[in-house]
Structure 1
Amino acid sequence: MWRCLIISNKELQINEEIRDREVRVIDSNGGQLGIMPAAKALELAYEEDLDLVKIAPQAKPPVCKIIDYGKYRFELAKREKEARKNQHIVEIKEVRLSLNIDVHDFETKKSHAQRFLKEGNKVKVSIRFRGREMGHPAQGYEVMRHFAETLVEIANVEKPAKLEGRNMLMFLAPKPAK
């Protein structure tokens, strides 16, 4: 036989759901009304045509507030939406170089990396070694070092160049704004 137990309830208890004998009550203006029986607090809420909401269930005695629950939920959702809007998700953008990259191609890749870093994203720089290029990893390290040096004003090397199989990888992160 399975029994379902509610470990934590995200929703707040309102009105008749409040089963405590005594509660500390705060009115709609934020003033303390003191400790009173839950039934009397519920009566006060109904007189004002508002809801009794348990906001601090872990307190002794629990704290309830007389508020408009619908308006409260709307304000809460609005604040959460605003907080999400102000967040910036850092993405990892990739720039692929080759072992014998030409000057113009190098400058193009550098400008792409600069744009990614200015947007606040991290940049993964990679070189794929093909065929006999595997015999010259020092050239790959040199290309990576030169690429990192050209971006030293706007980027920090988060992970230095490292050869992993046929690929050499390096991660750059934007410098924090001052």
Structure 2
Amino acid sequence: MIMNEKIKASEVRLTGLNGEDLGIMPTKEALALAKKHKVDLVCTTLMSSPPPCRLIRAGEAKTEAQQARKQERAPKVKEIRLTPQIEDHDYETKRQQAERLLSGGDAALLVVRIQGKEGERAKALLEALVKDLRAFGRPKTGIQVSGKQAAVQLDPL
């Protein structure tokens, strides 16, 4: 995103603070208008001539750029492995790790390794984790117990 004095085009197509079209004007005039209103002049794309620019309140441009970057990035699925005999402290650590992943926009795949007759215990552990993480993500599928593992994928809200 190109802002204020970094815009090198001689003319810009300007859009006002409330979305009104202000037409094509020289870049210097647009910068003077932005300074007069104490806002930023932001160029949205350089693919057209003259480039479209907007007047945006100071600080909003950065948050808008961060939102665009977040939406641009495809969410990844990160796996978190657990065992049915997990201690309370380790459980909290894994829960916090899953919270960080989900609030960062990535999906979390919670996998519990099963040995012997631990299937019900593993399912109960995953149900508790899903319940604790309800504020950060929702299950994509139900809890799947198959062979030597039980798994559930949580997608971010």
Q: TM-score, normalised on structure 1?
A: 0.49
| CA distance 1:23–1:35, shift in 2 (3 Å) | same
Is structure 2 residue 136 aligned with structure 1 residue 113?
no
- Structure ID, larger Rg: 1
Partner of 2:111: 93
**Could you tell me how far 1:76 is from its partner in structure 2?**
5.2
Structure 1: how far apart are the matches of 2:41 and 2:143?
54
Which structure ranks higher in relative contact order (CA pairs < 8 Å, sequence separation ≥ 6)?
2
Structure 2: how far apart are the matches of 1:41 and 1:94?
59
Structure 1: how far apart are the matches of 2:2 and 2:67?
21
Partner of 1:17: 6
Quick one: which amino acid aligns to residue 37 of structure 2?
E
Is structure 2 residue 23 aligned with structure 1 residue 34?
yes
Question: Structure 1: which 4+ aligned runs deviate by more than 6 Å?
Answer: none
Q: Identical aligned pairs, as a percentage?
A: 27
Quick one: which amino acid aligns to residue 23 of structure 2?
G
Partner of 2:152: 174
Q: How many residues matched?
A: 110
- 8 Å Cα contact 1:24-1:36 kept in structure 2: yes
| CA distance 1:45–1:92, shift in 2 (3 Å) | same
Q: Which runs of 5+ in 1 are unaligned?
A: 1-11, 99-105, 121-152, 162-169
Partner of 1:102: none
**Could you tell me how far 1:114 is from its partner in structure 2?**
0.6
Quick one: which amino acid aligns to residue 69 of structure 1?
A
- 8 Å Cα contact 1:14-1:52 kept in structure 2: yes
Structure 1: how far apart are the matches of 2:124 and 2:62?
40
Structure 2: how far apart are the matches of 1:46 and 1:72?
15
Quick one: which amino acid aligns to residue 112 of structure 1?
R
Q: Which runs of 5+ in 2 are unaligned?
A: 71-101, 131-141
